[in-house]
Amino acid sequence: MAQTTQRVRWICLCLVFATVQIGGVLAAVTDPDVGPLITDSLDGNMLGLKCTAEKLSDPTADITWHLDGPDGDQVIFAFKIEGDAAIGTLKLTATTSFNVSGTGAVAKDTTYACKVARGAGTLWQAVTTGDPTPRSLRVEPDREQLYYGDTLILACPNYGTQTDPDTLPPDPLTVPSPQIDWQLNFTDTWTGSLPAGASVEDSKLIITNLGDSHVGSYTCRANNTYGTRFAFYPVDNLMDAPPTTALPTTPSSGVAVNNTGAIVGGVIGGIIAAIILGALAFFGYQHYNKSQTARISSQPSQSDEEGKLNSS
């Protein structure tokens, strides 16, 4: 069934990356140079796919949904346009939905492609129904060595499988977006147990103040309508963090000041001042003693005075 769309043409200034979300939780990210933004939402058995193309431009293009790649049969979708092309902002959205479980469900490994056609060519992105595929866990920020006291963040990205590299973009997203759970050390019975200091936020595992109690293999469990998959990340060989050197402070003039030199100079100056004051006090005391001695020696003694009185 044909869907009427508004045609808009633009000069594309940038490509957006594809991200699938469910309930605001990041589930997957693909190549940033592939095409439009696709989000999904699950309401019971009905999976909704929303494709958004947001560009800076003016004039007309088509946005459509297709089966089996961008050149496949067009599927029913709802079209919406937002923004004002006259002032250079334009957003096109196309939403389609289908049943993913129960009677009449879409078969596994069905590909849906969102295509945005414009004068200079086309941009498109695809998703595939099927098992979640957490290809590998990702450390944020990426690093090779873990240290005691670190804050470790593990993400469990969901990727699709590459079925036809000639007609599909790399890593089409797998839908429905999976539910992500975490556990320390895999067990046959899922317990979801995590050590103290570990928590899950927006599907990411966050471990604060990394220590020996956190050593082990962390398991990400990704689950959706079609199945469950696991990915693992080992935490071991923790090391003491290398010592850090304090940076010199920079005053408002922009000139760096070496605080260590200032402190040492102040201490030495204080010592020298104390020595000078001590010397002045010593010499002052010596001068006072000498003047007192001279004054006493110049006065007549009591015996001399008595002799003078007797002779008179």
Tell me, what's the pLDDT at 14? 27
Three-state secondary structure call for residue 262: helix
And the tokens for 183? 């556990």
Domains and CATH numbers, the chain: 19-129 (2.60.40.10), 138-235 (2.60.40.10)
The pTM of this model reads 0.60
Query: Which pLDDT score, from 0 to 100, does residue 17 have?
Result: 29
Is 160:128 a contact under the CB 8 Å cutoff? yes
Residues (pLDDT < 70) of the chain are 1-35, 55-60, 85-89, 119-120, 135-136, 159-172, 245-267, 281-312
Give the span between the Cα atoms of 147 and 157, in whole angstroms: 24
- Looking at the chain, the number of H-run helices and the number of E-run strands are 2, 17
Predicted confidence (pLDDT) per residue in 190-241, tens digit: 999 999 999 999 899 999 999 999 999 999 999 999 999 898 999 999 999 8
Please state the φ and ψ torsions of residue 233, each to the nearest 5 degrees.
Answer: -140, 120
d(CA 249, CA 255): 9
pLDDT at residue number 81:
83
How confident is the model at residue 52, as a pLDDT?
85
**Confidence at residue 176, expressed as pLDDT on a 0 to 100 scale:** 92
What pLDDT, on a 0 to 100 scale, did the predictor assign at position 270? 72
pLDDT of residue 122: 79
Q: What is the pLDDT of residue 264?
A: 57
Give all strands (DSSP E) within 57-188, no chain letters. 62-67, 78-84, 89-99, 111-118, 121-129, 138-140, 152-155, 173-175, 179-184
